[in-house]
């Protein structure tokens, strides 16, 4: 039996739930707003101890209605808070509709009279609700074996099967209807997905939406990088376009090779959004040596700016890079490096050797979550939209969006050289550091850095390289341990073996006692012709030269491994007196001229697009010291008058040019441009 509560107890219970969140009543109709205000006044008069008769005279709210309103206001809502003033809004439902009357016998085509039928059925069979919810939100133990994205039809099928298993009468809803409850099931599914936002995104949406789930939650990050050089973000961006690479040949002319993809690496300061430095990689993929090279170049006193100035552009005003404009940041190091989970960043040369030398922390972040590096991602988005997707040789933002018509033919006709990418990237990033940004209070990244450095009596002291380390780190050399080999019974003097090539010098050849002993060597992965070796006690052995013709032509470790891979597959035969790089160039030339020729087991470079990329990377690597070697083989490609099959597109009335030092080559670029925007205005 329900006992009558004393008024003081009711008032005390109401006060314990206060204060209530206010309601905005201005958008209500005049009748609803008047009723809401009278209800609200009645509640507060009741709490002030006014007699019930006085409350009635003032608000026209009866005693029974007042008690009903107080119960509604003090009930707990789904959000964990009492309903409060929300329960006083006219026609505001605080409980879901619950059907009480059983569904009578009706015709299959009849559409009315089924309100609350599904809710009544789920209340009758509690396990049915759990099964439908588990199917909708993929809550089973073997989630990877369930349907990828469940559809309402699959949910309805499960619904019908469960009802049959529960021996639900075939004469009752939903078996006695035409669509067997499909609309109710669809509505139930949509409602559950709306109530479970995170699950909805994870199941039914793409990677970009899933990555953003961790954002906008209202929770502040535990680790905040608010000081200059607290953290550097690093990432790579693929540039897909039809480029024509001009390589100097033996006659002082340019030989042109087509290229489909470049990579752009960039370092961005997390606090100021300033671009620290960048690197153009003439390859379809980025390697660990490229990452090491980027960080090493950023620590040099003089940044390696592009040597050519084909566009006639000049740095003006405050544009530039932090180490150039702020002397205190020269040779400065970050506290945290934030790369993604690419294999090039997970390699030991980055995750162990470089980290130990420079003393920074590594924060890779969860795989697939690009939002962990928002600044560098936004920087790449800007340079893609501002430059590369506006060029007439662009391949667009996707296979179905923004591809320029006859981009390869335009690149061949107007000779859009790949080193223009370095100039465009250099000037774009330099100007980026001098542009105001809303995210840092409408300051430029360089102004932000200067103010941070000078604030609070210059309390920011960046961590810098020691003077004794500058040369070794800025021109980074990897240290590895190798074992000395010596075969006295065969008369073979001591040597070391690195990437299937022998190294030695006069001192090592006279040290047979080092046989089977590990020694330390320092190597520059951009030039593998020689390495520096040390005895186990640390004393220097000197410079070891590569055996045979491996010491003739400058080549990187990437080139060495590519040649070794072809040799292992018997696609390339090199004798001891041959120059391996020369034979590798010959092999690439053959692939360009006749991709179908060669052994049955075609090497990875057999693909025309990758051949052009590899040929360009190799030419850029050796062109400085061996222009004769580059020109000899690339000139043969030219004289054969054979174009790459993947890029050959006939163009009507396409002009022809004979390459000579006096030939004026048409260009889509203006000859003199004051700034980057002026450069792009004609496209």
> Higher model confidence: residue 10 or residue 400?
10
Instruction: Please give the Cα distance from 553 to 529 (Å, whole number).
Output: 7
- pLDDT number for residue 641: 43
- pLDDT number for residue 103: 74
Residue 609 has pLDDT above 60, yes or no: no
> Higher model confidence: residue 410 or residue 243?
243
Instruction: Please give the Cα distance from 74 to 84 (Å, whole number).
Output: 6
- For residues 258 and 387, membership in a common domain is answered with yes
Q: What is the pLDDT of residues 579-589, one digit of tens each?
A: 677 777 777 76
- For residues 567 and 545, membership in a common domain is answered with no
504 within some domain: yes
Q: How confident is the model at residue 410 (pLDDT cuts 50, 70, 90)?
A: low
- For residues 382 and 238, membership in a common domain is answered with yes
- For residues 537 and 612, membership in a common domain is answered with no
Least confident of 179-188, 319-328, 399-408: 399-408
| Residue 541: Cβ-neighbour burial (10 angstroms; 0-12, 13-18, 19+) | buried
Q: How far are the Cα atoms of 262, 342, 431 from residue 389, in angstroms, in the given order?
A: 14, 25, 19
Instruction: State which of 88, 107, 136 marks the end of a domain.
Output: 88
**Strand partners for 497:** 502
| Residue 174: Cβ-neighbour burial (10 angstroms; 0-12, 13-18, 19+) | buried
> Higher model confidence: residue 162 or residue 89?
89
95 within some domain: no
527-534 sheet: strands from edge to edge: 478-483, 518-524, 527-534, 540-546, 501-504, 492-498, 485-487
- For residues 429 and 519, membership in a common domain is answered with no
- pLDDT number for residue 548: 82
Least confident of 19-28, 257-266, 326-335: 257-266
Instruction: Please give the Cα distance from 123 to 130 (Å, whole number).
Output: 11
Q: Which of 595, 641, 591, 585 is nearest to 616 (CA)?
A: 585
Average pLDDT rounded to a whole number, residues 609-622 = 68
- For residues 464 and 315, membership in a common domain is answered with yes
Three-state SS string over 521-585 comes to EEEECCEEEEEEEECCCCCEEEEEEECHHHHCCCCCHHHHHHHHHHHHCCCCCCCCCCCHHHHHH
Instruction: Please give the Cα distance from 114 to 183 (Å, whole number).
Output: 11
Average pLDDT rounded to a whole number, residues 343-352 = 83
508 within some domain: yes
Q: What is the pLDDT of residues 260-312, one digit of tens each?
A: 777 889 999 999 999 999 998 877 788 888 898 899 889 988 888 887 777 78
- pLDDT number for residue 649: 42
Instruction: State which of 501, 528, 551 marks the end of a domain.
Output: 551
Query: In Å, how far from its chain's centre is CA 303?
Result: 26
Q: How confident is the model at residue 648 (pLDDT cuts 50, 70, 90)?
A: very low
Three-state SS string over 241-256 comes to EEEEEEEECCCCCEEE
652 within some domain: no
Average pLDDT rounded to a whole number, residues 351-370 = 83
124 within some domain: yes
- pLDDT number for residue 670: 42
- pLDDT number for residue 608: 55
Q: How confident is the model at residue 166 (pLDDT cuts 50, 70, 90)?
A: confident
43 within some domain: yes
Instruction: State which of 423, 439, 470 marks the end of a domain.
Output: 470
Structural domains counted in the chain = 5
- For residues 462 and 419, membership in a common domain is answered with yes
108 within some domain: no
- For residues 328 and 422, membership in a common domain is answered with yes
Least confident of 227-241, 301-315, 394-408: 394-408
- For residues 443 and 386, membership in a common domain is answered with yes
- For the chain, give the number of residues: 683
444 within some domain: yes
Give the domain extent around 159: 117-205
- For residues 270 and 346, membership in a common domain is answered with yes
Least confident of 173-182, 210-219, 602-611: 602-611
Cβ atoms within 10 Å, residue 309: 11
Instruction: Please give the Cα distance from 313 to 672 (Å, whole number).
Output: 7
**Strand partners for 257:** 245
- For residues 370 and 519, membership in a common domain is answered with no
Query: In Å, how far from its chain's centre is CA 512?
Result: 52
Mean pLDDT rounded to a whole number for the chain? 77
Residue 601 has pLDDT above 50, yes or no: no
- For residues 149 and 274, membership in a common domain is answered with no
Sign, CA dihedral 633-639-642-647, equals positive
């Amino acid at each position: 039996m329900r006992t009558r509560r004393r008024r003081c107890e009711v008032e005390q219970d109401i006060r314990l739930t206060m204060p209530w969140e206010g309601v905005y009543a201005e958008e209500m109709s005049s009748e609803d707003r008047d009723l809401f205000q009278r209800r609200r006044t009645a509640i507060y008069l009741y709490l002030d101890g006014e007699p019930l008769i006085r409350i009635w005279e003032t608000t026209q709210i009866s005693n029974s209605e007042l008690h009903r309103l107080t119960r509604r206001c003090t009930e707990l809502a789904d959000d964990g808070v009492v309903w409060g003033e929300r329960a006083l809004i006219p026609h505001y439902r605080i409980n879901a509709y619950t059907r009480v009357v059983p569904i009578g016998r009706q015709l299959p085509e009849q559409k009315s009279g089924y309100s609350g039928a599904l809710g009544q059925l789920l209340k009758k069979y509690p396990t049915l609700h759990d099964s439908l919810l588990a199917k909708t939100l993929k809550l089973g133990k073997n989630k990877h074996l369930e349907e990828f994205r469940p559809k309402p039809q699959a949910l309805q099928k499960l619904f019908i099967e469960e009802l049959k298993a529960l021996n639900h009468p075939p004469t009752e809803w939903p078996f006695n209807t035409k669509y067997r409850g499909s609309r109710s099931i669809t509505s139930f599914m949509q409602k559950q997905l709306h109530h479970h936002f995170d699950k909805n995104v994870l199941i039914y949406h793409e990677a970009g939406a899933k990555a953003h789930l961790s954002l906008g939650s209202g929770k502040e990050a535990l680790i905040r990088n608010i000081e200059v050089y607290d953290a550097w973000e690093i990432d790579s961006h693929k540039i897909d376009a039809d480029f024509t690479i001009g390589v100097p040949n033996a006659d002082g002319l340019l030989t042109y090779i087509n290229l489909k993809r470049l990579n752009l690496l960039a370092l961005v300061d997390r606090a100021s959004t300033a671009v620290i430095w960048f690197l153009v990689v003439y390859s379809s993929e980025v390697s660990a040596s490229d990452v090491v090279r980027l960080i090493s170049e950023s620590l040099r006193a003089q940044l390696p700016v592009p040597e050519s100035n084909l566009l006639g552009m000049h740095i003006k005003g405050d544009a530039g890079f932090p180490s150039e404009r702020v002397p205190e940041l020269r040779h400065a190091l970050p506290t945290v490096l934030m790369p993604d989970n690419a294999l090039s960043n997970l390699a030991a040369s980055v995750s162990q050797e470089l980290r130990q030398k420079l003393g920074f922390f590594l924060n890779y972040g969860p795989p697939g979550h690009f939002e962990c590096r928002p600044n560098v991602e936004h920087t790449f988005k800007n340079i893609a939209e501002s430059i590369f997707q506006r060029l007439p040789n662009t391949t667009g933002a996707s296979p179905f969006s923004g591809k320029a018509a006859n981009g390869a033919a335009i690149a061949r006709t107007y000779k859009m050289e790949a080193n223009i990418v370095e100039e465009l990237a250099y000037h774009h990033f330099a100007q980026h550091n001098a542009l105001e940004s809303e995210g840092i209070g409408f300051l430029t990244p360089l102004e932000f850095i200067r103010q941070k450095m000078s604030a609070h009596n210059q309390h920011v002291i960046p961590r810098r390289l020691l003077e004794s380390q500058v040369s070794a780190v800025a021109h980074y050399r990897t240290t590895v341990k190798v074992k000395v080999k010596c075969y006295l019974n065969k008369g073979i003097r001591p040597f070391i073996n690195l990437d299937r090539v022998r190294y030695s010098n006069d001192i090592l050849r006279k040290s047979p006692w080092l046989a089977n002993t590990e020694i330390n060597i320092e190597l520059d992965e951009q030039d593998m012709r020689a390495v520096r070796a040390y005895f186990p006690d640390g004393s220097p052995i000197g410079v070891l030269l590569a055996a045979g013709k491996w010491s003739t032509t400058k080549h990187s470790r990437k080139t060495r491994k590519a040649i070794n891979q072809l040799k292992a597959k018997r696609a390339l035969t090199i004798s001891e007196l041959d120059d391996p790089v020369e034979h590798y160039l010959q092999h690439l030339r053959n692939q360009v001229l006749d991709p179908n020729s060669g052994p049955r087991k075609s090497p990875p470079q057999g693909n025309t697009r990758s051949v052009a990329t590899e040929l360009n990377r190799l030419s850029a690597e050796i062109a400085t010291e061996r222009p004769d070697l580059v020109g000899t083989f690339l000139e043969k490609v030219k004289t054969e008058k054979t174009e790459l099959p993947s890029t050959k597109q006939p163009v009507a009335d396409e002009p022809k040019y004979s390459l000579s030092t006096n030939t004026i080559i048409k260009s889509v670029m203006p000859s003199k441009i004051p700034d980057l925007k002026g450069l792009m205005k004609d496209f």
